[in-house]
């Protein structure tokens, strides 16, 4: 496969890869060992649980509120 036919990652993913901390973990999850994806998911979950412990209720409600537009878009797309 030549470099011209290789797909580029999405814009959001490319922006996240520019941040050094995210670059380390995302690149390992995408191109690393097979179990690196599970460690990445576990780290995200643990980070969210720690945020809930230290910040409290806002750490629970903010991700839920950000999912509302995605749910509406999914409903609209499904009903088309």
Distance from C-alpha of 45 to C-alpha of 10, rounded to nearest angstrom: 23
Instruction: Collapse the DSSP code of 79 into the 3-class scheme (helix H, G, I; strand E, B; otherwise coil) and give the result.
Output: helix
User: Per-residue pLDDT for 3 more than 60?
Assistant: no
Report residue 5's pLDDT band, with 50, 70 and 90 as the boundaries: low
Query: CA–CA distance from 73 to each of 13, 69, 76 (Å)?
Result: 21, 6, 5
Distance from C-alpha of 30 to C-alpha of 25, rounded to nearest angstrom: 9
pTM above 0.85, yes or no: no
């Amino acid at each position: 496969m030549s470099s011209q036919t290789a797909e580029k990652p999405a814009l959001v993913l490319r922006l996240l890869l520019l941040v050094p901390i995210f670059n380390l973990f995302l690149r390992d999850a995408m191109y690393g060992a097979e179990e690196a994806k599970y460690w990445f998911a576990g780290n995200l979950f643990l980070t969210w649980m720690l945020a809930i412990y230290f910040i409290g209720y806002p750490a629970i409600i903010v991700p839920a509120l950000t999912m509302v537009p995605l749910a509406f878009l999914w409903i609209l797309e499904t009903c088309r």
